[in-house]
Chains A and B, each alone.
Chain A
Amino acid sequence: MSARGNGSSGLRGRIKVPFDSIELTLGIVFLAIILMLVVFRSQLQTHDPYVGDLLDRFSEIGVNGHLLGTDNLGRDVWSRLLEGIRWSISAAVIDTLVAFVIGTFVGLAAAQSTGWARTILNQIVDMALAFPSLIIAMIVVAVVGRGFWPLTITLGLVTWPVFARIVFAEALTLLERDYVKASKSFGARPLLIMLGHILPGLRPTLAVVLAFHFADMLVAESALSFLGLGAPLGVPTWGNLLQESRDYLMVAPWLLAVPSVGIIYTVVAVNLIGDGLASIARRKGLRIDI
C-alpha cells in the first residue's frame, strides 16, 4: 500500500498534478501499477502458475518461498494472481466495451427515433432487463462452452441495458438543448446530430459510468465462476481463484483473501478514476448521476 503515499504526496509536492483531480491521479497511478505487474509478470512470477507440487499443498503465506502461499494443488498463489490479472482485467474491459457499444447504440437510436420505433426499442431494453441473466449465461455456456469470449459476451449481453437506459435519458435532455435544436432547424441529418452533438455531450457521463461498470464486471466474473459458468477450469482468473478457495476456508483462508484483495485494489483504482472524472465534470458545471 506504499503506492498510495508515493502517489499522492510525491506527485502533489514536486510536479504539478497532471490532472485537475487528486483522485484521478491516484487512480491512474494505481492502475499503472497493475499494468506494470501485467507487463513484467514473467519476471515477477516465482513459480509456474499452472504447475504445482502436491507435497507443497496449502503452504502458508511466506512458507517454502511462496510469497502468498500455495493452493490445493500446491501451485504458487502469487504467480497465479499475476497470471490472472491479464485474463480478468481484459475480460472486464471487453465486456464493458461490448455492453457500452450495444447499450449506447440502442439508447441513441431510441432517443433519436419517434413513435413506434422508440416504443419497440424501449421494449427491447425492458425485456433484456427482465430476462434472468443466469439463464443467458447458461445458454451461452451450453452452446459454446466456457471460455474467454463466451464469458465476456455473456457479461456484455447481460449488462448492456444499463447503458441503454442512461444514454437514452441523457440524450433526451441533450436533444432539448438550444444548439441541438438549432442544428436540427438547419436541416442537419439525424445521424450527424447524434455523432456530432449528442455523443460528445454524453462523454462525461459515459466516462463515469464506464469506470463504475468496469468495477462491477470485475466482481461479476467471480459470480459467474461461482455458478460454474465462468472462465474455463484451471485458468487462474481472479474469479476462478475465489471460486476454488471456497472449499478451503478453514484450511487455507488466504486463498480467499488474496484474490479478494486483488479485486478490491483494482476496483478502488477504477473508482478513483471515475470519481476524479466526475469531480472534473462537476467543476465544469455538468451534473452526473451514476
Chain B
Amino acid sequence: MARISSNLRLLGNFIVLLLGITTLMFFALRATGDPIIVMAGENASAEMIDSLRQQYGFDQPLLLQYVYYLGNVLKLDFGASLASGQEALPYVLQQLPATFMLALFGMTVTITVSVPIGIWLGARPDRTGPRIVSAAVIVAQGLPGFVTALILIQLFVVKLMWLPSLGYADVRTWILPSVSLASFLAPKLIRVIAANVSESMRQEYIRTARSIGMSERGVLWREAFPNAILGTVALIGAQFAFLFSGAVIIEVLFHWPGIGLLLFESTQSLDFPVLQAIAFVIAVLVFVVNSLTNVAFHMIDPRVGKVIK
C-alpha cells in the first residue's frame, strides 16, 4: 500500500514538473522575441506580418494562446517547427539517439577513467605519485570542455588527420566528442571517488577489518570501494542528466546531430515549438534519470531512503 501511494506521489510530482516546465517555457520564450518577424524576413510589410501572425495563432490574446497550447501539449502536440516545418516532438525525438549515444559513450569513458584513478588516489593520498596526479586532475578541472575539444580537433583532425570531426555516421567520429566530454566530467568524479575512498579507509569498520587480518587489497575492494561508490551515484546521475540536456557546445563543435545542436540552432531562429518540445523532452529525461538515481541509491543502501525521502 505504501509502495503504491509513493509511486502515485512520484507520478503526481512528475505531472506537476512537466506542467510547470511547459508553462514556464511558454511565457519565458515570449520574452525572447518575436518569431514571426524572424520568419517574415527583412523586407516584410506590416500586412505580411499580420497575416503570418494570424496563420500561426500569435494574434490571439496570450492567455487564450496558453490554453490552446496546453490543450495541445496534453495531446503531445507541440505544433510544427517554425524553421523546418516538421512536427516539433518527432523532430526532437529524432535527435535523441545521437544524444543518447554521446551521453553513453561520454559517461563510459568518464567512469572507466575515473574509477581506477579515483580509487588509486584515494587509497594512497600521501604518496608522491598520487599527489602529482591529483594536481593534474585539478588542472584538468580548470580547462573548459570546449577548449579541450578544440585542442583535440586541432591535434587529431587538423594536424594528424587521424580522425574525422563531423557527424556520427562514422564510428571514428565518436572518439573525440566522448573524450572531450570525459575530460570535462572526469576530474570532478575522480576527486569525489578519491575523497570517498580515503574517507572510508579511515572509518572504524575498516580498522576492524584490518585488525582481523584482512589484506590491504581486500580492505580496499571489499569494504572501502562499495562505500565510495555509494557517494558517487548522485554525481554520476547528475552528470547523466547534464548530458541528456544536451552537451550543447560539444555537439556544436563536432556537428553532432543531437538535442544540443538542435537547441543551439533553434535559439538562433526562435523556433518556439521546437524549444518547447526540447524543454519537455529534457524534463522527462532528467526526471527519469533522477528517479533511477534514487532507485540505485535504495538498492545500494536502504538506509538512504530515510534521509533523502
Q: Which residues of chain A have a CB within 8 Å of any CB of chain B?
A: 119, 123-124, 126-127, 129-136, 138-139, 142-143, 169, 172-173, 215, 218-219, 222-223, 226-227, 242, 246, 249-250, 253, 256, 260, 263-268, 271-272, 278, 282, 287-290
Contact = CB atoms under 8 A, between A and B. Distances in A.
Contact of A173 (B17, B32, B246, B307): B307
Nearest to B32: A142
B157 to A, nearest CB: 11
B141 to A, nearest CB: 6
A130 B18 CA distance: 10
Interface of B: 13, 16-17, 20-21, 24-25, 28-29, 31-33, 135, 138-139, 141-147, 150-151, 154, 158, 188, 191-192, 195-196, 199, 231, 234-235, 241, 245-246, 248-249, 263-264, 267, 275, 278-279, 282-283, 286-287, 290, 307-309
Given A123-B16, A282-B199, A290-B192, A130 B282 contact: yes
Contacts of B241: 129
B147 A223 contact: no
Given A227-B264, A263-B142, A130 B28 contact: no
6 contacts: A119-B13, A130-B245, A131-B24, A134-B263, A135-B25, A256-B150
Contacts of A266: 142
B144 A223 contact: yes
Given A215-B142, A267-B141, A130 B17 contact: yes
A265 B142 CA distance: 8
Given A130-B282, A135-B29, A271 B138 contact: yes
Instruction: State the majority secondary structure of interface residues on A.
Output: helix
A219 B144 contact: yes
B192 A132 contact: no
Contacts of B17: 123, 126-127, 130
A21 to B, nearest CB: 13
A143 B231 CA distance: 40
A107 to B, nearest CB: 13
A139 B195 CA distance: 38
Nearest to A282: B199
A166 to B, nearest CB: 10
A126 B307 contact: no
A218 B144 CA distance: 9
B32 A139 contact: yes
B300 to A, nearest CB: 15
Nearest to A261: B142
B282 A132 contact: yes
A129 B248 CA distance: 16
Given A126-B287, A264-B143, A290-B188, 15 more contacts: A127-B17, A127-B20, A129-B241, A131-B279, A132-B278, A132-B282, A135-B25, A138-B32, A139-B28, A172-B307, A223-B146, A249-B154, A260-B144, A271-B138, A271-B141
